[in-house]
Amino acid sequence: MVLENMTPVGQTIKISAPKPAWLKTKATFTPDYVRVKDALRSNRLHSVCEEANCPNIRECFSHGTATFMILGNICTRGCRFCDVIKGRPVGYDLDEPRRMAEGVAALHLQQVVITSVNRDDLPDGGSWVFAETIRELRARDRRVKIEVLIPDFDGNFAAVETVLEAKPDVLNHNVETVPRLYPSVRPRARLGRSLEILRMSGDRSDPPIVKSGIMVGIGETWDELLDCMRQIAGSGCQILTIGQYLAPSATHTPVDRYYTPEEFQELAHAGEAMGFAHVESGPLVRSSYHAFDQVSRMEEKKTAGQTGGVGPEVTR
């Protein structure tokens, strides 16, 4: 499929037109939505769903699920795609892992996704809090499934090992965008650093499921996107999520263009041809959206012998 009126390489425009129909969500506030919000407030917990203005928040909260954000709600980095508060956090709460586990118990959750802000002010980037949170959750329920979405810990690979040694079920670290856009979109990050985190996570004798995510519509070209996906696949990553970038405000990096549902389907086929066990690709897909459904679909494909090599890679 050939795209008409594509944005020239390197040029970014602000889209002022209304969002296409496939990006619109219905506002619903169910009793479960209120219950999840109340549980977060009563346990003094943060959710990335709220802090990052996720478009799926009403659906996820209504289904009794949330992605918990530890280490406070102030990030030490100034990434131009993210709506989390930027600033200089002071210290951190040593009791947070216990409260997190109590909050999960109050919500009767069997599957948990935990992420954090970047804490470059801490020597270990906050990796101990990740690990202790996993241990506290396991102490209350050894059956609970845990996905952690970790930052790059500013290149501290010992910090990554600290998290891995606590044995999460899924280790997620997002690449976010193509390397050309890193200086303007996430300047303190490095693609090579992120790929090494994915690689070392899968190289363990008892590896977790390894996962990453990327946004589209932020100024990348189709060829750049496919090349970045190939590099992620080459790291041994098993699950890839691909979703539409939506600018949180007029001060953030503007949307370059909106991908169609058909293009997301093409990207899913291309990714699985590269060797990903599962590619979750769609306009409203976010890294932690239906996180353990993604794992289930990956395992179903493995059982059916359908992982990798599903068809020719799509090029433009």
- Beta partners for 37? none
Range(s) of the domain holding residue 198: 169-308
Instruction: Quote the tokens at residue 92.
Output: 């951190």
Q: Are residues 214 and 298 in the same domain?
A: yes
Note whether residue 22 is domain-resident. no
Q: Are residues 173 and 130 in the same domain?
A: no
Q: Are residues 245 and 147 in the same domain?
A: no
Largest CA distance in the chain: 55
pTM assigned to the model? 0.82
Note whether residue 277 is domain-resident. yes
User: 99, 120, 151: which is the final residue of a domain?
Assistant: 151
* Token pair 């943060």 in the structure block, residue: 46
Note whether residue 156 is domain-resident. no
- Find the radius of gyration of the CA atoms of the chain: 19
Note whether residue 7 is domain-resident. no
Q: Are residues 69 and 181 in the same domain?
A: no
Note whether residue 14 is domain-resident. no
Q: Are residues 141 and 173 in the same domain?
A: no
Q: Are residues 122 and 173 in the same domain?
A: no
Q: Are residues 56 and 134 in the same domain?
A: yes
Helix (H, G, I), strand (E, B) or coil at 142: coil
Note whether residue 217 is domain-resident. yes
User: 123, 151, 179: which is the final residue of a domain?
Assistant: 151
Taking the C-alpha atoms of residue 247 and residue 83, their distance in angstroms, rounded to an integer, is: 9
| Tens-binned pLDDT, residue by residue, of the chain (316 aa) | 333 334 444 434 444 456 888 776 665 655 665 566 666 666 666 555 444 455 554 555 445 456 788 998 888 987 777 777 788 888 888 999 998 888 888 777 778 889 999 999 999 999 999 999 999 999 998 988 899 999 999 999 999 999 999 999 999 999 999 999 999 999 899 999 999 999 999 999 999 999 999 999 999 999 999 999 999 999 999 999 999 998 877 888 899 999 999 999 999 999 999 999 999 999 988 887 777 788 888 888 878 876 554 334 444 5
Q: Are residues 188 and 303 in the same domain?
A: yes
Phi/psi at 70 (nearest 5 deg)?
A: -100, 175
Taking the C-alpha atoms of residue 253 and residue 218, their distance in angstroms, rounded to an integer, is: 7
Note whether residue 159 is domain-resident. no
Q: Are residues 204 and 99 in the same domain?
A: no
Contacts of range 137-143, beta carbons closer than 8 Å, 24 or more positions apart: 137/100, 137/101, 137/104, 137/112, 139/101, 140/101, 140/104, 140/105, 141/105, 141/110, 143/110
pLDDT of residue 229: 98
- pLDDT single digits (tens) 22-38: 776 665 655 665 566 66
Instruction: Quote the tokens at residue 240.
Output: 């890839």
Q: Are residues 98 and 130 in the same domain?
A: yes
DSSP-derived secondary structure for 274-299: HT-SEEEE-TT--TTTTHHHHHHHHH
pLDDT of residue 21: 82
Note whether residue 291 is domain-resident. yes
Q: Are residues 195 and 135 in the same domain?
A: no
Phi/psi at 268 (nearest 5 deg)?
A: -65, -45
User: 124, 151, 178: which is the final residue of a domain?
Assistant: 151
Q: How far is CA 34 from the centre of its chain?
A: 24
pLDDT of residue 3: 37
Q: Are residues 116 and 245 in the same domain?
A: no
Residue 5 exposed, middle or buried by CB count within 10 Å (0-12, 13-18, 19+): exposed
Instruction: Quote the tokens at residue 216.
Output: 């589209």
Which residues lie closer than 8 Å to 277 by C-beta, 6 or more apart? 238, 239, 298, 301, 302, 307, 308
Number of structural domains (the chain) is 2
Taking the C-alpha atoms of residue 174 and residue 213, their distance in angstroms, rounded to an integer, is: 5
**CB of 18 closer than 8 Å to CB of 261:** no
